[in-house]
């Protein structure tokens, strides 16, 4: 019986040796990497094609890379922390995120007002991942701007361009922190230059519309030209309720920011010129009903005592009436022009005021009844969003 067992073991060992050494690869042979068989049993091998050198970037790609490398060290991520109330009126912490950019080596950072509104703690993270506590130097709710400051070494400021000569079709780049994804760059063109209403409802003149993807978290970040220079501050998007980019984003022109940075640094707020009036925009229908001398303009309801209009002798209304359920005053002067600019509504006055400082003298053309007059007026300082 023993010789039978020896014979059986010999047969098994011999059979295993034959299978693993004589059958075609891929069918019976085990552990043979890098070899495959097709349907006919013929052996085939895997062949890869690999690049033998670094890729050559085309001029457009090279410009994209150059813009990103130039601007990224100046872009920061801003985290604002505040307290809010839950359903049971208990205080709970709330955190928001946005973007900003470094203006100078002293650590001044420009962002949107709505990024830091109501915050009791603000933290700035630079592109090298270091975090710094930020203080508010000043804010401009009307233009949705805020100036912060951090104490940090080796800061790289942005380069500010001009925004007065921008054209539709010009290539632009947005860098920021959409949805908290810091250091994200998107590209597009200037789609339009138009006046819009900002997040607080105040007008933003010559806002830059772009199709570059701007999403929550991009607010306050820079909009750049093809040289990596700042032309605008990304501020809002048209979403249709989707809360994400729909290809219609808006940026505050950088010239608007330049005009207020001095006041923000010196006073912590913006000193705005004002006519010192409460007004009502007039259209053709209202002008006809009221018997006014012009078909459009701004009707002076009342003047602020001691304000610019009051000092210049502009008259407010003296007869109460109702426009729907709203009480108005009739009989006041109708403003139709300021410094050669036609005035059709309060937005036109706001645009004129944006070009001046408190104390500047302007020419105001009015109708007093049927009589047309032009008065010189020294602008006062206004604190509220009005004319």
pLDDT of 156-186, one tens digit each?
999 999 998 999 999 999 999 998 898 999 9
Q: Give the active site residue among 74, 80, 139, 219.
A: 219
Compute the chain's Rg from CA coordinates: 34
Higher pLDDT, 87 or 209: 209
144 is catalytic: yes
- Per-residue pLDDT of 317-347, as tens digits, reads 999 988 888 889 999 999 999 999 999 988 7
SS3 string, 118-154, reads: CCCEEEEECCCCCEEEEEEEEEECCCCEEEEECCCCC
User: Taking residues 108-120, what's their average pLDDT?
Assistant: 92
- Count other Cβ atoms within 10 Å, centred on residue 380: 19
- Per-residue pLDDT of 267-287, as tens digits, reads 888 888 889 999 999 999 998
User: Taking residues 350-379, what's their average pLDDT?
Assistant: 90
Q: What is the pLDDT of residue 351?
A: 80
114 is catalytic: yes
Q: For residues 95 and 86, give the distance between their C-alpha atoms in angstroms, rounded to a whole number.
A: 14
Please count the CA atoms within 13 angstroms of the CA of 123 that sit on its side-chain side: 10
Q: Are 87 and 48 contacting, i.e. CB atoms less than 8 angstroms apart?
A: no
What distances in angstroms separate CA 366 from CA 81, 172, 293, 369, 387, one per listed residue? Answer: 49, 43, 10, 9, 15
Q: Give the active site residue among 114, 139, 296, 310.
A: 114
Q: Give the active site residue among 99, 108, 144, 279.
A: 144
- Count other Cβ atoms within 10 Å, centred on residue 288: 11
- Which of 15-19, 90-94, 156-160, 282-286 is predicted with the least confidence, judged by mean pLDDT? 90-94
Helices (H), 214-270: 254-267
Q: What is the pLDDT of residue 198?
A: 73
Sign of CA dihedral 340, 269, 108, 202: negative
Mapped onto helix, strand or coil, the DSSP state of residue 181 is: coil
Q: Does the global pTM surpass 0.85?
A: no
User: Taking residues 11-27, what's their average pLDDT?
Assistant: 60
Nearest to 249 by CA among 262, 234, 267, 271: 234
Q: Are 309 and 299 contacting, i.e. CB atoms less than 8 angstroms apart?
A: no
Nearest to 208 by CA among 245, 170, 154, 263: 170
Q: What is the pLDDT of residue 158?
A: 96
pLDDT at residue 116 is higher than 60: yes
Ramachandran assignment for 365, one of left (phi > 0), alpha (psi -120 to 50 degrees), beta (any other): beta
């Amino acid at each position: 019986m023993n010789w039978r067992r020896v014979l059986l073991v010999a047969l098994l060992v011999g059979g295993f040796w034959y299978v693993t050494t004589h059958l075609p690869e891929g069918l019976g042979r085990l552990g043979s990497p890098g070899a495959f068989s097709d349907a006919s049993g013929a052996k085939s091998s895997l062949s890869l094609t690999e690049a033998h050198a670094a890729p050559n970037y085309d001029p457009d790609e090279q410009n994209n890379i150059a813009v990103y490398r130039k601007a990224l060290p100046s872009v920061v991520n801003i985290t604002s922390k505040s307290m809010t109330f839950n359903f049971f009126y208990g205080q709970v912490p709330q955190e928001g995120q946005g973007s900003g950019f470094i203006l100078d080596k002293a650590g001044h950072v420009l962002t949107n007002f709505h990024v830091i509104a109501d915050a009791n703690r603000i933290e700035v993270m630079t592109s090298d991942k270091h975090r710094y506590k930020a203080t508010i130097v000043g804010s401009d709710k009307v233009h949705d701007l805020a100036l912060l400051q951090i104490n940090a070494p080796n800061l790289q400021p942005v380069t500010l361009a001009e925004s007065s000569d921008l054209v539709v079709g010009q290539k632009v780049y947005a860098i920021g922190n959409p949805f908290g994804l810091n250091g994200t760059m998107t590209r597009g063109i200037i789609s339009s230059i138009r006046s819009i209403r900002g997040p607080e409802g105040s007008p933003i003149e010559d806002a830059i519309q772009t199709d570059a993807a701007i999403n929550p978290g991009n607010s306050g970040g820079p909009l750049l030209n093809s040289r990596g220079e700042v032309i605008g501050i990304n501020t809002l998007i048209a979403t249709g309720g989707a809360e994400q980019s729909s290809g219609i984003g808006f940026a505050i022109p950088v010239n608007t920011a330049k005009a207020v940075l001095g006041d923000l640094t010196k006073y912590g707020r913006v000193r705005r010129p004002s006519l010192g009036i409460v007004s009502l925009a007039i259209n053709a229908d209202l002008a006809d009903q009221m018997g006014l001398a012009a078909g459009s303009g701004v009707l002076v309801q009342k003047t602020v005592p001691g304000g610019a209009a009051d000092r210049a002798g502009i008259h407010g209304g003296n007869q109460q009436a109702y426009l729907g359920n709203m009480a108005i005053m009739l009989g006041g002067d109708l403003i139709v022009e300021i410094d050669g600019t036609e005035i059709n509504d309060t937005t036109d006055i706001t645009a004129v005021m944006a070009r001046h400082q408190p104390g500047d003298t302007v020419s105001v053309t009015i109708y007093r009844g049927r009589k047309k007059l032009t008065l010189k007026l020294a602008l006062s300082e206004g604190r509220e969003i009005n004319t």
